[in-house]
Structure 1
Amino acid sequence: MGFVSPAADPVTEKPSRRDQILAAAAELFARHGFHGVGIDDIGSAVGISGPALYRHFRSKDAMLGEMLTSISEVLLDGGQARTGLDRAARDTLLELVRFQVDFALDNPALITVQERNLGNLTDPDRRKVRGLQRRYVELWVEAIRAAVPDLGEPTARAAAHAVFGLINSTPHSRHLDRAQMADLLTGMALAALVHSPN
């Protein structure tokens, strides 16, 4: 799994050591929980000593903060890129759904960390992540209401969160291959949104 916000070396195309650490930490946090993982565990996963991690991050809390902030920024940037174009409202909604599905299927560990560890962030990091998440949700609410004009704002907001739950709960499924899972999730999400009751 590649980390979602790598500043990859332009020559080697390999993620930086910092991004390798974040990717390894995401896998470990998803598997064992934030409190179940120590600095030595993360260091071992990337082939360095635990204390050597402090050259890259001041603490495990800082690592989690950067990880969850990065996820939220990637989602918001991707959402903005897909809603800022001049096209039919339902096409915009389709692009948002596809984007969220791809993110969830390609980054299952990050989805798990995001869902389980917001409460482990420091207060400043939590406020920043919450703010980014609210802006991402607003993109969805606007896109849903544009595609389904008679849908009220509270229903559109509830529908957006329900679809996030649908999409984000399934990346670990082993019943279908990736392409089949993407098609299934996209179809289910669109059916739920477009046919949402008033």
Structure 2
Amino acid sequence: MLWHREARHMTPGHRKAFQTQVDAIVQAITRSLQPARSDLSSRACELLAWATLAVFLSASFHRKELPGEEFSSLLADTALRVAEVPPFELDPATRPDRSRLRPLSRKEALITTATALFAERGYGSVSIDDIGKTVGITGPSVYNHVASKNELLETAIRRGGAHLMLGLDAALTDSATPSEALHKLGRSYIDFASAHYHLVTLLISDSQHLTPSALEEAVATQRDYLSEWTHLLSQATPRIQGTPASIRVQSAITIVNTTARVAHLRQSPGYRTAISAVLNQILP
């Protein structure tokens, strides 16, 4: 959690050194996978390495606990499931994220710009002047459209929560079984995180800057969203209930959050299909 929230605030030198360490860990996992996964390309093995690492990173985000040995065993089992995902294609070429068109509405432009800046630098490191300058207006002019910098953050996070709940509603509406709904829900979250990776960063890292009432609303939305995943998993797989189901779901969410924020993976053709296959493997 510290990595996700605070790495943005490292000095460039320290951040580069830290990234070198992370890359070395991922490369070590990739090398461990390759002998057993000759059916996968090196880029596909790297994706599985990041997903495997994410399973263990998810321990920072679990709100429910099991006895140490049982918890470790569950994480290990989930990581092994990731390593055994059926073969998939992942093109080593990358397609840079498209530059989005700027909306006509000045307020909408401020919201999207602020979302990206908050994610890249951290909420506390971005000023109203920074946001206004990026949009092409003076800092004081921003207040003609929004009451405060916090309103921009609150709007972005509220919209992110609403997007997730709409994806949930679509998955429940269009599915005949819990298993089908769970897989569609997973795909909708992958699509969301891939297209709105800056917003994912805000949901993970900057909620603590919200006002108490807005924070309570955001936490409740995320809790309800995760509870629906857990309920569907328990219905689809009766042998997985309660805390183990919650832990398996949090592992899946962290896999998506982590890999979607690795640019060269997110930009690889076939990424969304590959991560969907990983989620289907650990959320049967």
* Band of TM-score, shorter chain: 0.7 to 0.9
* 1:139 matched residue in structure 2: 228
* 1:112 matched residue in structure 2: 201
Aligned residues: 185
In structure 2, relative to structure 1, the CA distance for the partners of 1:96 and 1:86 (3 Å cut) is: closer
Q: Output one character per residue of 1:131-170: Cα deviation in whole Å (capped at 9) or x when no partner.
A: 1111111211121112212211211111111111110111
CA RMSD of aligned residues (A): 1.9
* 1:181 matched residue in structure 2: 271
- Helix, strand or coil: the match of 1:161? helix
Pairwise mapping of residues 40-79 of structure 1 onto structure 2 (< 5 A)?
A: 40-79=129-168
Pairwise mapping of residues 1-198 of structure 1 onto structure 2 (< 5 A)?
A: 14=103, 16-173=105-262, 174-175=264-265, 177-194=267-284
Asked if structure 2 preserves the Cα contact closer than 8 Å seen for 1:80 and 1:139, the reply is: no
Q: Output one character per residue of 1:79-132: Cα deviation in whole Å (capped at 9) or x when no partner.
A: 122113451222111100100000011111111111110111110110011111
In structure 2, relative to structure 1, the CA distance for the partners of 1:180 and 1:15 (3 Å cut) is: farther
- The answer for unaligned runs of 5 or more in structure 1 is 4-12
In our comparison, the structure showing a higher alpha carbon Rg is 2
Q: Output one character per residue of 1:155-191: Cα deviation in whole Å (capped at 9) or x when no partner.
A: 1111111111110111133046454111121111111
Give structure 1 regions of 4+ aligned residues with deviation exceeding 6 angstroms: none
CA distance in 2, matches of 1:160, 1:86: 19
Greater length-normalized contact order (CA 8 Å, ≥ 6 residues apart): 2
- The answer for unaligned runs of 5 or more in structure 2 is 1-98
* 1:7 matched residue in structure 2: none
Asked if structure 2 preserves the Cα contact closer than 8 Å seen for 1:76 and 1:133, the reply is: no
- Helix, strand or coil: the match of 2:240? coil
- What letter matches 1:55 in structure 2? N
- Helix, strand or coil: the match of 2:260? coil
Q: Output one character per residue of 1:54-91: Cα deviation in whole Å (capped at 9) or x when no partner.
A: 12211111111111111011101211221134512221
CA distance in 1, matches of 2:106, 2:115: 14
- Helix, strand or coil: the match of 1:58? coil
CA distance in 2, matches of 1:117, 1:14: 24
Report the CA distance between 1:19 and its aligned residue: 1.6
